[in-house]
Amino acid sequence: MIIVSFFIIFVISTNNTIATILGESLICDKDRRGYNFITRDKVEVLSINFDELNIISINHSYQLKENLILINKPIKEFNNDKKSQPIGWIFRRTLDYVSLDYVNGDWNRKFLWSCEIITLDQLGKRLKNKIDKFLKAGGNKKREHKHE
């Protein structure tokens, strides 16, 4: 009986990684992209635009499956009458993200990165810190180049 109890506790704790995702935030891709789950079917995707050095936000729909969170195309890009094709997914247990890319009429895996659960405030700070680090690294290169 004790072994069964420990097994049940183990299953609950491992599945609790992201059991309910409403109100949760994830940071992914070495602090370059974030996911803020704002409603039961809408996620705000925050990412760094390195050309303009700012954070952009695009709302996507998502579907929650037993083992996956399917991230769909941006909401403005599809008709509400049709189901949107997933453009990637997050494994609920490991929080690894896989992106898909449509190439030559076929969906191919484009990249894989790891995510972690954080607060919304931390999400904004970490994305901003990434921009600041990029600016600082770029500024040092410019200064080094001037001295040569």
Structure-block tokens of residue 52 = 């303009």
- The whole-angstrom separation of Cα 91 and Cα 108 is 17
In percent, the amount of the chain with pLDDT more than 70 equals 72
Domain annotation for the chain: domains and CATH numbers = 2-137 (2.40.128)
How confident is the model at residue 32, as a pLDDT? Answer: 93
How confident is the model at residue 18, as a pLDDT? Answer: 45
Q: Which residue type is seen at 118?
A: I
- The whole-angstrom separation of Cα 109 and Cα 87 is 10
Structure-block tokens of residue 115 = 């995510």
**pTM beyond 0.75:** no
How distant is the alpha carbon of residue 124 from its chain centre?
13
Give bridge partners of residue 85 from the DSSP assignment.
none
Integer-rounded Cα Rg, in Å, for the chain is 19
